Structure 1
């Protein structure tokens, strides 16, 4: 027994998306990953036989537990669509030469400049600073360098790898959706 053979069984208990995912054209490719997640949700060994047996023994409980996975998949799709929409909006603003398209760059320059200026002042101004003002400068200093880190992450850091990950997830999600629609249309 392999993971793709579970597709029909899951579709029969009312989980067509998971059934199509395992039984569809991508079943052999993603079956092991998705199957292990299904096995974990059901609390059984990560084998197709154990999952099949758990579903056969108590279809209602399996349906309830696996419906949560299906709902989470739909929430993740909506989240990825929202991120893609935000990126498309940013690109469209820059291409339209809108002043709001350049706002993130301007803010990044201002934050970096303010952090450098405050660092310079704290290290090279030799006057005594009252304790109240020193505490305020200390908090501002930490907040500015945190904002610099966020700016670096936005422009050069995780946003690039996140964008690549989002594209891969969107392609995977589109393939799963297409497989599910194809399966439903065949009925």
Structure 2
């Protein structure tokens, strides 16, 4: 038995989003990580057989214990869908030659000009270095960078954290398990 075989069983007890994590294209890979958290939540060994037996023995109890993981999975799915819709809307505006498509460009340029102005003002002594002002400008510029180029460094750190979590984890929280699974899905 492997982790992907749990997909149907979890869907049958009312946890379709969690079942999808095990049954998707990365089910085996995700299952190895998520399975530890599911097993910990059920209080069994981190093997597909033990998880399956626990679900079969008490489907209602398993559904209750795994409901938090399921809810976090649904929240992350909604977040990813919202992100995809925003990107799709931007593409449609560009394809339609809408002037609104220039909105992100204008905001981006303004953020970088703000940062340059604050750095210049601090460097010339016109503005006292204030951590709040400089921090705001750096945060705005960082947001622009991530909007246009993505946060590949952040994704790498997340992947490293997930890997470390999987190697060192004793009993992860349901939120950690769901976040790990969502991050694995994002990478595919």
Same fold (TM over 0.5): yes
Partners in 1 of 2:154 and 2:132 — Cα distance?
Answer: 31
Partners in 1 of 2:93 and 2:104 — Cα distance?
Answer: 11
1:101 corresponds to: 101
Flag structure 1 segments of 5+ consecutive residues without an equivalent.
173-187
Secondary structure at the residue paired with 1:45?
coil
User: RMSD of the TM alignment (CA)?
Assistant: 3.9
Number of equivalenced pairs: 162
Partners in 1 of 2:8 and 2:39 — Cα distance?
Answer: 16
Cα offset, 1:47, TM superposition: 0.9
Partners in 1 of 2:23 and 2:117 — Cα distance?
Answer: 61
Partners in 2 of 1:114 and 1:147 — Cα distance?
Answer: 9
Secondary structure at the residue paired with 1:102?
helix
Instruction: Give yes or no for contact 2:39–2:46 (8 Å, CA) kept in 1.
Output: yes
Higher relative contact order (CA 8 A, sep 6+): 2
2:117 corresponds to: 117
2:171 corresponds to: none
TM-score by length of 2: 0.62
Distance change (3 Å), C-alpha of 1:91 and 1:124: same
Say which one has the larger Rg: 1
Instruction: Give yes or no for contact 2:15–2:63 (8 Å, CA) kept in 1.
Output: yes
Partners in 1 of 2:124 and 2:25 — Cα distance?
Answer: 66
2:147 corresponds to: 154
Runs of 4+ in 1 over 6 A off after TM superposition: 23-26, 159-162
Cα offset, 1:6, TM superposition: 4.3
Flag structure 2 segments of 5+ consecutive residues without an equivalent.
156-181
Cα offset, 1:161, TM superposition: 8.4
TM-score by length of 1: 0.62
